[in-house]
Amino acid sequence: MAIDIVIPKLGMTMTKAKVAEWKAGEGDKIEEKQVVLVIETEKVTYEVEALGAGFLHILCAPGTEANVGEPVGRLAETQEELSQMQAEEPGAVATAPADTTAASATPAAEQPAPGESQPARKPKKVKISPKARKMAKANNIDYTVLQGSGPSGRIVAKDIEKAMATKEAAPAPAAQEVFTGEVIDGKRVRESIPLAGMRQVIADHMLHSLQVSAQLSSGTEVDMTEMVKLRTALKQKPEFKEGRLSYTDIFVYIIAKVLKAQPIMNASLVEGDIKLWADINIGVAAALQINEHESGLVVPVLKNTDQKSLLEISQRVLNLVVKAREGKLDVDDMMGGTFTLTNTGVFGKRWSWATPVLNQPQVGILQTGAIVDRVVAVDGEMVIKPMMPLILTFDHRVIDGAAAAKFVFQIVELMENPYQLVG
């Protein structure tokens, strides 16, 4: 079966290329993975390898432009198939580059006049005995590449026998997977995933957020020693069903307290006016795994968070997370947020920093990371403490650095002294 030689797609905007050079001539035997063609684009020159073995039939001559995916040549499986191709689709007979020195030495009288076609080049005649020819054909030996040992270099039976022995002794080439997929800028594409659905919405939202606001991030770290003790103690209480109390629950509770004390952080810029919201509705970012490669992000909202107890917040957060994972969040669950918390500490015990992007039109988002044992200085001594990174991103159009620092300081103060919350 014939194999097409096509123009590969090398770039996202590439639509065509020029056939620059054929590395072999019409009818030549081509091996798999052999460079058979050179193409040119606006940016690069690229060598095209044969996807299989066969006899070359050239469809497009050098200098011809062809579209991506268009066949410019074919590889016939047999000489008979090649002859049929040449009869049905003459194409453009071309050969490998000739020796320019020899060409220049040819008398001008022997050169064809401009506009005249080149005379067909006769194939090289190989001297071989009838017996040797028969043996070569029966054993799939290409005798045209052999050096004959007979008179005047004639190929005889013992030359074929020698070639057969060499072929049998040679280790079989390892099977190689032939890549037939898309290639962009020299890189093979494993899989194409459409930017659509939830991923498209997230992409548009994040880009819009960065374009319409002056975002600045400020980070610090928190000594979580007392927080760890408090959570452990609270989880023993019967009201926290089966010991279910997350750090996210406590963080939401603390944020609500500080937002009430600093209403400028619970605001939005709407049509030139800074709106300070009377409601404190905290969104909790939740990651979703859509499939092997795709993830998603939703931000369910806890309404009137400042009016709820820690137990009520814990129950509501659990309810929203379960609904999110089951795909059962409704519109009301996602609307009305005035501030957002994203806790990336749930993804692994590694120290990390990041800069979260504002959830428009909110002016603040707080990111907490993993709680990790780290060496810190206490009263001139090096001690190990459970530390957590904390990063606030805020809209500098509305929030000054001093206000952001004050907000972060109050958050840290309550996290490091959480007994103030239950005392």
Give tens-digit pLDDT for 202-228. 888 888 899 989 999 999 999 999 999
Q: Say what the pLDDT of residue 164 is.
A: 85
Question: Residues of the chain with pLDDT > 90: what percent?
Answer: 42
- Ranges of beta strands (E only) in 7-59 are 16-22, 29-30, 35-40, 45-49, 54-58
* 400 noted as active-site residue: yes
Q: Which residues contact 90 (CB under 8 A, 6 or more apart)?
A: none
Which has more pLDDT, 280 or 116? 280
CATH of 1-98, one of 3.30.710.10, 3.20.20.60, 2.40.370.10, 2.40.50.100: 2.40.50.100
Query: Per CATH, which fold does 125-178 belong to?
Result: Dihydrolipoamide Transferase (4.10.320)
Q: Say what the pLDDT of residue 42 is.
A: 58
Nearest to residue 266, comparing CAs of 256, 276, 252? 276
Give the pLDDT band of residue 106 (cuts 50, 70, 90).
Answer: very low
Contact 197, 70 (CB under 8 A): no
Instruction: For residues 307 and 303, give the distance between their C-alpha atoms in angstroms, rounded to a whole number.
Output: 9
145-164 tens-digit pLDDT: 888 887 778 888 888 888 88
Q: At what angle do helices 225-234 and 247-261 cross, to 10 degrees?
A: 110
In the chain, list all ranges with CATH 3.30.559.10.
197-422
Residue 173 has pLDDT above 50, yes or no: yes
Which has more pLDDT, 365 or 324? 365
Catalytic residue from among 28, 205, 306, 396: 396
Give the pLDDT band of residue 102 (cuts 50, 70, 90).
Answer: very low
* 396 noted as active-site residue: yes
Give the pLDDT band of residue 110 (cuts 50, 70, 90).
Answer: very low
Q: Say what the pLDDT of residue 295 is.
A: 65
Residues, the chain, total? 423
* pLDDT (average), residues 95-107: 41
Q: Say what the pLDDT of residue 291 is.
A: 64
Q: Which residues contact 108 (CB under 8 A, 6 or more apart)?
A: none
Q: Say what the pLDDT of residue 104 is.
A: 38
In the chain, list all ranges with CATH 2.40.50.100.
1-98
In the chain, list all ranges with CATH 4.10.320.10.
125-178
CATH number of 197-422: 3.30.559.10
Task: Give the lowest-confidence range in 114-118, 211-215, 314-318.
Answer: 114-118
Q: Which residues contact 36 (CB under 8 A, 6 or more apart)?
A: 5, 22, 23, 24, 30, 48, 49, 50, 56, 73
Residue 122 has pLDDT above 70, yes or no: no
Instruction: For residues 124 and 394, give the distance between their C-alpha atoms in angstroms, rounded to a whole number.
Output: 78
Tell me the pTM: 0.57
Strand partners, 197: none
Q: Which residues contact 9 (CB under 8 A, 6 or more apart)?
A: 68, 69, 182, 183, 184
